Each structure stands twice: as C-alpha cells, then as structure tokens.
Chains A and B, each alone.
Chain A
C-alpha cells in the first residue's frame, strides 16, 4: 500500500512554498495597501508640514542670529543670541513631539541636566551641551530637506492623482470644461478636456483625448501612485532617522548616562550592604546582649528559687526590666528599617510623625494628589528623616520646615532650617548616603547650606 502521507522532502518543499506565498502576500498587502494605511497619509502630511516648519525656522533663525551677531559689539546682541538658542531648543522639542505623534518614533530628550547653581554655571552647561547645537543643525536642515520632500511628495501625488482620476472627467464631463483665460484686454475661451485632450509631456507622447485612453493612463498611473506613496513612506522614515540622529541623545551621551547610572547603582548596593551591617550590629550589640542578660538573670533565679526567695524576687524584677527595655530597643530598630506608618498612611502621616518626634518645631506641608511608588515614598521619607536628625543634632536651628509637592512626573521634597548651616556631605556620612539613595532612583539631591545658614536640602525624585 502506498503511503498517503507526504515524505519529508515534500513537507519541506511545501513549507518553503508556504513561506514564499507568505512573503508575496505580505509584499502585495504592503504595496496595494499603501493608500489605505493612515500612516501613509500622515507621512504625506508630515512631509508637507516639514517644508512649512523648515521655512519658518529658517527665516526666524537667520533673522535672529544675524541681528544678534550684528549687535554683539553693543552687548545687546548676546541676550538676543541666548534667547534664540532657548527658542530653537523649544523648536526642537516641538519637532520631537511631531515625529513621535506623526511617525510614531520616540526620541528621548537628549539634554544634560542643568546644574542648580549660579546662573553662569547654568549658562555654561547649556551652551556646552552638544544636543543644543545639534538642535540648531536640524532646524537649519529642515528647510532644504523639507523643500525636497515637499516637491517630491506633492508633484508625485498631484501627477499620479490627476491621471488616476482622468477617466472620471471623461465620464462626468464628456464635453469638457470651458476655461476662460485673459490675455491683456482679450479673453480667450478654450476647451480643456476631453476635446483638447491632455499630453503626458508638452512636446511629445500620445495625446489622451478619449475615455479608453484615459482608462489606460489611469491603469499606468496606479502603480506609479503606489511607487510615490512608497517613496513618501521612505522619505518619512529617512526623516525620522535624521531626527533621531540629530535630536536624540548621542552615543557618547548615552554612554555617559549609563556610567552615571551604574555608578549610582553600585553606590546603592554598597549602601544597602552597609545598612545590613548596621542592622546586624544593632541586633547583635543591643537586642542579643539584652536577651543574654535576661536569660542569665532568669537562670540564676531558677537556681535560687528555693534557697533564696528574696534574691529571686530582685532577679525577676531585673529580668522584667531588661525584657521591657529590649522591646523598646527592638521597636526603635524596626522603625529605622521600615516605618510601618509610611506603608499604612503614606508620606504625609509619616513625615508628620517624624516632625512630632523632632525636638525642633517643624512645619509640615505635604501636597500630593496620589501616593507615589513605594521606593519613591521610602526615599523621600529617609531624606526627611536624615535631614531632621541632622537638624536636631548639629544645626542649632530654632525652626524647620518640610515641604513636599509634585511637579509633572516628579516629587520634590524640601527640608529647610534656620540653623547655622555649613552642612557638608563630606563630613557626615549621612548626606552622602542620602545622595546615593536619591541617585539610586535616578533623582537629584541638592544641599544648599552656606556658613551661617539657612540650610535647605532638596530632593527631586522621578516617579515614572
């Protein structure tokens, strides 16, 4: 009997042919489908807009930069140039947004974080940021590139569209349209289509002046339209790549960011290890010693239970006291590891509890619309806890203030006191540890503590 099942070779062959079919089908779908994908027409719109926006920025930047540069001698030029630079970064931001919304390509913000400090530092950081200058290059390139994109896209669509719709003219307006044209004082009337017909080119090629010819022209125009649409998609993709290269973070910037993150990660791991050592030490030196003493006292009491009841009473009393003080110590320790009130009631209540324990009067003002992620809450809490401990121990302050609020996707926590200032992160390990914790969640800690005070410690914690 012959086996009906295909041999291995046949199966493989079929698989290949299926794959070939699959590819052809996908190719067909992707070409025939081009006019039906919204993305195609959005790309078309994108290219047209590129020209308009490019023209706008070209005029604005050339005007402002030449004005500014011309006036540099009188010093008025510098603020004009600076304003221009700020303006073009906003232009670049808008372009990033446009590329994301219209082409679906996400370009992360490339700018370096500006330092908190005197304005000269901020200015220098801004002007030495390569991303700012790449923004300028992009906006200047947008005009010529946008022009080319505009011309190709618009002429392509207009021409193929015209031929494609030609049969409709012949069908709807068999007599053509009378068109008037003014030549000085005279008005010429002539018939446009179908009597006059249309040439593909002005000087040569067949004249299309009948419906069947129009249908043939349309049949040829259809693949041409698909080609134009394909070109439009290609140009949009190319534009997105250019935007990514010029408006996105450069490789160096990404690498340096990875460096910063891995450094802060290892510091966080270090501080976690240190924290564990501290807990181990606290348990060992405190609780364990207390329990040993307690067990010893109870052991002695047991020995003397019958011989010396009076001594037993004293020993039991001491054991009782030891047990109670161990409990108190354990409570402190546990609170330091993870305060239950933070998990239960959130930052406001937890910070209020910290403030209530602080010997310096603290005003608490927490305004958060929703609870941030656990790790952010924890970090914010420890910033406040450590700062208040420092205030109580070193600052000599008579009042302090804790404020927490949200801006966009960040939470800002600020601890202020009117003490003698001069808090130095090098001196105590506390501030360095805080900085590590904050950096560990990609936040920033700013300590502003001039000698003589006041001190303000501000943490910016991203919640995304």
Chain B
C-alpha cells in the first residue's frame, strides 16, 4: 500500500516512515508542509496520506487546509489527519465534502501501533475513522437529548463505536459480543433515533454524525 506522509517534525516523520515501512507499507513521499502534500498527492496518487494538522508557516491548521484542498484536486484520495488535539469543528470541515476515506485522530493514537495501522488501512479502503474523543464531544453535547437518553448503555456504546467509523464486525470484536447482537443493537438505535439505516458503512457514519451534530 502506497503512503504519503506530511509532518513538519523530522523526528515524527522518520518515526512514521519506520513504523509504516516495518508494517509493510510503501512510503512514496514524506513532506514537511501543505503545498508539498498537495504536490505529492497529485504526483503519486497514494492509497492513503497521513497528515499533521500543524505545519509551517503559521503552525495552525495548514495540514487540514492542505488535506481539504488535495481532496478537491484529487477527489476521494483517502486522508488520515493527525492532530495534537481534536476538535469537532475540524472533523466537520473534513467530512463536509461527504466523500469517503477520511480519518481524524489524535496524534497520541500512533502510540497504539496496532490500532493505528488498522485505522490507516480503514481510511485507505474508504472508511471513515473518527477519534473517540471527537465522538465523546458529540455525545456530551447530546447527552441530555431525550432520544439519546432513551438508548440503553449498551446501545450508547454501540452508537459511539459506529460514530468512530467501525463496522458491525469491528464493533462486535471491540465489545466482545456476536455479530448478530450488534446487528440487533444497530437496528434498535436507528429506530429510536429515527435515522434511515444506510447502505454502506461510510454512509452510516455520516448519518450518525449528522444526527449527533444536530
């Protein structure tokens, strides 16, 4: 799988290259700023790009802006954005296009190598992966919502995992229950919240997020 990495910190960039190479990915370009990222994506058409939010010159949201611009130029190119902190606003900006293949994770998550690589593969295959912290922010906001309140604790857990972008099978694995049980929970959640059950995992995430954003 071919990967582009954009991170201005040499230490982290080299770390990511090493980590991904060891895991069998092919890093085709490692750049340090936004324009570099856009050029690399246009040139290499990678399977996935991993982008840090803060990059030169202002160290604000250059990575985010570049990622959105790159997806405008190369529609559907999967991008996983890493950030020191996650904000629901940024997630919304990334997801605004409605195209699949978006990931938004705390940079810390890299430390959980296995889960991180899993997230990279998911994004590359067109899934949406959101950091649990973003989902937690969304759920905090909706906690007093009657309909969310009507969900059983089990269902709320499933809702969080769905919002993070996990498939039924992944949810089942994470909760240690069978696929059928998850399926039942999902149907019940969609019924209680009044969301149309969607055909694909990606659409399902968008539907759940749209509901949570209210």
Contact = CB atoms under 8 A, between A and B. Distances in A.
A257 interface: no
Contacts of B108: 324, 327-328, 331
Contacts, number: 55
B132 to A, nearest CB: 12
A119 B13 CA distance: 64
B125 interface: no
Given A324-B108, A328-B108, A344-B61, A361 B141 contact: yes
B84 A341 contact: no
| A contact residues, range | 20 to 34
B88 A353 contact: yes
Interface string A327-356: 110010011000011011100010011011
B143 A361 contact: yes
A359 B84 contact: no
Interface in A389-439: 398-399
B211 interface: no
A356 B111 contact: no
A357 interface: yes
Interface string B59-102: 01100000000000000000000001101111000000000000
A324 B87 CA distance: 19
Given A361-B141, A361-B143, A361-B144, A352 B89 contact: yes
A323 B141 contact: no
Interface string A355-371: 11111011000000000
A341 B89 contact: yes
B140 interface: yes
Contacts of B88: 352-353, 356
A398 B144 CA distance: 9
| B contact residues, range | 20 to 34
A320 interface: yes
Contact of A356 (B61, B84, B107, B140): B140
A341 B60 CA distance: 9
Contacts of A398: 144
Contacts of A335: 85
B188 to A, nearest CB: 24
B137 interface: yes
A142 to B, nearest CB: 55
A357 B139 CA distance: 9
A340 B140 contact: no
B213 to A, nearest CB: 10
Contacts of A331: 84-85, 106, 108
Contacts of A340: 54, 60, 84-85
B84 A334 contact: yes
Chain B CB count within 10 A is highest, among A334, A341, A352, for A341
B138 interface: yes
B118 interface: no
B100 to A, nearest CB: 25
Contacts of A328: 108
A316 to B, nearest CB: 12
B96 to A, nearest CB: 14
A399 B144 CA distance: 9
B137 A353 contact: yes
Contact of B140 (A324, A345, A359): A359
A344 B85 contact: no
A323 B112 CA distance: 11
A207 to B, nearest CB: 84
Interface of A: 320, 323-324, 327-328, 331, 334-335, 340-341, 343-345, 349, 352-353, 355-359, 361-362, 398-399
25 contacts: A320-B111, A324-B108, A327-B107, A327-B111, A331-B106, A331-B108, A334-B84, A340-B60, A340-B84, A341-B85, A341-B87, A341-B89, A345-B87, A345-B89, A349-B87, A352-B88, A353-B87, A356-B137, A356-B138, A356-B141, A357-B137, A359-B143, A361-B141, A361-B143, A399-B144
Interface of B: 54, 60-61, 84-85, 87-90, 106-108, 111-112, 137-138, 140-141, 143-144
